[in-house]
Structure 1
């Protein structure tokens, strides 16, 4: 069995050109797309949890550590994106460099990332909105706002938001990106309102002890807050809808990551400076911090920004999930019947609908719990493998045109592998066990279906007959 057969760059490029998807995105759209998916649950929720349970005030170092790992991987992604402007991000990149079997496992883990993360974010959106309505005197019945494991029957708000955003994505990428722009502006305004109001109230005494859980706590916090960064991968999935992917994708990937890292560090520094870190383990630490220092109106404004932030995260995650599904179905890795472009809206509507149903089912009925950590390990493994792939491609195909070349790749790629591996090492054992089980299921799918049904296998069989 030829498990490591690669798809040619020329084939991937030609497939992207005739995909039928509308090319409507520019560099600014991509930067905002990345910010839309990165600034959300992480900045409004994870900052407090990571400070209280893992790193204390040194959570700002946790964000720097995670940001560095992502920056190394992002530089590798950017070079890949300039070579292979095709949907599928790390899955497609790996198919071109390390071969089909490795690419399938990367794609399998990206599906895990997007599906689980989307479900978790939808559940979080539901909890935030239900809480806001309750504060306004509207108390929705728990039977229809909680999953069975939490004492309810079905989480209807989580299902409704998934279906609504998926409807927008089917209607058109440009329309969805326009909504994303508006919501990104609102949530960035909320972040700056927080920094403006809380910044002058910082008490340096709250930063002592700075590292109460030691460096192990900083590393553990970095592994957890990595969840806050995974959105930049979604930018790479938009390649076939970019007007100038070779130039715009690197700008979108690296630009959104740098902006988000700066904002994460600033917010975590101010947050732990105004509230003792032990008090931040709650679902709305940023809003709580403003109430703590007496800004109740500011807290409400930030609450609205948080809902907008979580909405854009979910929108971009559903977008990315559909593009990875589309790339894999087009290659025969999953049934090709779902690889259809809408004749009017020019979007991959079948995979968007299938993915939405899967996410809605999980968010509506299943407890998320520790499963959300699987998104981290799946993404880290994809980043790690993609970083190896870009280094391999630099040496095996040095003459391929690259509109963006990763600086000092011989240094950056190994640093990406080491930093992603380090963060994976710091994830809990239960997460590793579930990850191994998920990969074993993936092996069964690949050898039972994908290997013989892949378009590459069928092409090779046709050539053999000739």
Structure 2
């Protein structure tokens, strides 16, 4: 047989990698200047967006809820387990980010390596998850904002304090819905402006978290840490599955590839830095939270502020509440940004109507997708309780982690020569661990969560069959692309990379 001869596939054309195959590999083409975003984000801003996405409701609200209900002081173990699982997947994401300087994150990665249909399933899945994350962190914010308003004598009517089922007389969480709409407005002002606001707010948030840690360690009562695991080690593992959404903000960060300067180098660095800084802060805050107040007495909606108020630090409790509100705003910002950029990528590639992915002629952002996501997340935040939304976000992202880890493993051995701004260490063990960790954490989620995910994916397949399959072939005609073309993708605003150009500092 000739070395250039390719054996014929026995699969029907629809299941192949040819022009009609749903498993053809796709890569987005360069967009004309008036239809693409502008690269303005450097390493510092990218890292702040990542930290902004990771530190928020998880540290200010969900940690206390998990400690009180399922883990006790062993919530520390919950975060360490979730962080270890997240790190394995983060290495895989970082390697892809160093190869594919395009918006779309895991959708783009999976479509390039595993095929169009896999990319669509992951993208459609994450579109829901990112929007739900925006809602869940906004719900977490409302408890602290309500704490602040009460402190200054402003009392909202009972019907406006939460979603149905979260308290007597509750009808809608007005504060959570309002923050979703406000962040959508900020994001439509333009990437440079909104990123500057995000950076400032994240720095303030980190400062307040450090204040919590320094003061909190002086108020720890070690008796509160016993028993360490009152619900058993299984409770800590169940808690890990619940808090997992609090430690994967780098996934949303990777959707900013087309707005990052020298994204092949800087996006992987920003992912690693943001996750490392955030995990150190998470561990220290968990120790403070369960050491200052006994886990059975923690307030699940404003845990840290309430704990500090109980030990006589009312002034600091108010400062913490301000930090919580700021922190949750930054998470909302990062994930709404990620959702809108993902929607832009799906529309650009023909899988969804182009109307949604339109770029604002002046501000160069996908303004329509941003507003749709803002409105939908506001509705979710207003009428759903936090636990139902949190579990829905986790299962989708864990599924994406499994697929991305598999894709980076395949590509490392099929295309080892490709340029990589970052190389996942410990091949093949680390990505395999990422897949195992993710499947294991998924097994702790309620069956209703699986049913919701399955229903959403069925809807996605219907949309793909009725619209995306034909439309994407008009936008990106032909069969599978040659993945060697990844090396030719530009990570600057110029149409092609210049190997002689001095790299930016």
- TM-score using structure 1 length: 0.93
Distance 1:364 1:288, change over 3 A: closer
Partner of 2:233: 215
The alignment partner of 2:296 has SS state of: helix
Whole-angstrom distance in 1 between the partners of 2:164 and 2:72: 34
Partner of 2:148: 132
Partner of 1:395: 413
Q: Does 1:23 align with 2:23?
A: no
Q: Which of 190, 201, 205 is 1:172 aligned to?
A: 190
Q: Does 1:379 align with 2:397?
A: yes
Shift of 1:42: 0.5
Q: Structure 1 stretches of 5 or more lacking a match? A: none
Whole-angstrom distance in 1 between the partners of 2:233 and 2:163: 37
Q: Does 1:274 align with 2:315?
A: no
Partner of 2:447: 429
8 A Cα contact 2:148 2:322, kept in partner: no
Q: Does 1:405 align with 2:423?
A: yes
Distance 1:400 1:216, change over 3 A: same
Whole-angstrom distance in 2 between the partners of 1:249 and 1:355: 24
Partner of 1:6: 25
Shift of 1:365: 4.4
Q: Which one is further off, 29-38 or 117-126? A: 117-126
Which structure: greater helix fraction?
Answer: 1
Distance 1:201 1:148, change over 3 A: closer
Shift of 1:191: 1.0
Q: Which of 221, 224, 238 is 2:256 aligned to?
A: 238
Deviations 1:8-43 (A, max 9, x none): 4xx55x359885211110111111101111111000
Whole-angstrom distance in 2 between the partners of 1:299 and 1:16: 51
Q: Does 1:108 align with 2:124?
A: yes
Shift of 1:131: 3.7
Shift of 1:147: 4.6
The alignment partner of 1:399 has SS state of: coil
Distance 1:291 1:159, change over 3 A: closer
How many residue pairs get aligned? The number is: 459
8 A Cα contact 1:331 1:456, kept in partner: no
8 A Cα contact 2:242 2:390, kept in partner: no
Q: Which one is further off, 141-150 or 418-427? A: 141-150
Shift of 1:369: 4.8
Distance 1:54 1:152, change over 3 A: closer
Shift of 1:156: 3.9
Whole-angstrom distance in 2 between the partners of 1:290 and 1:245: 41
Whole-angstrom distance in 2 between the partners of 1:184 and 1:446: 38
Q: Does 1:252 align with 2:270?
A: yes
- TM-score using structure 2 length: 0.86
Q: Which one is further off, 232-241 or 449-458? A: 449-458
Q: Which one is further off, 446-455 or 221-230? A: 446-455
Q: Structure 2 stretches of 5 or more lacking a match? A: 1-13, 15-20, 482-505
8 A Cα contact 1:194 1:290, kept in partner: no
Whole-angstrom distance in 1 between the partners of 2:68 and 2:48: 30
Larger radius of gyration: 2
Deviations 1:39-59 (A, max 9, x none): 110001111111122222121
Q: Does 1:317 align with 2:317?
A: no
Q: Does 1:57 align with 2:73?
A: yes
Whole-angstrom distance in 1 between the partners of 2:424 and 2:414: 16
Distance 1:155 1:265, change over 3 A: closer
Q: Which of 62, 65, 89 is 1:46 aligned to?
A: 62
Shift of 1:380: 0.6
Whole-angstrom distance in 2 between the partners of 1:366 and 1:431: 14
Partner of 2:99: 83
Q: Does 1:160 align with 2:172?
A: no
8 A Cα contact 1:35 1:257, kept in partner: yes
Whole-angstrom distance in 2 between the partners of 1:119 and 1:423: 22
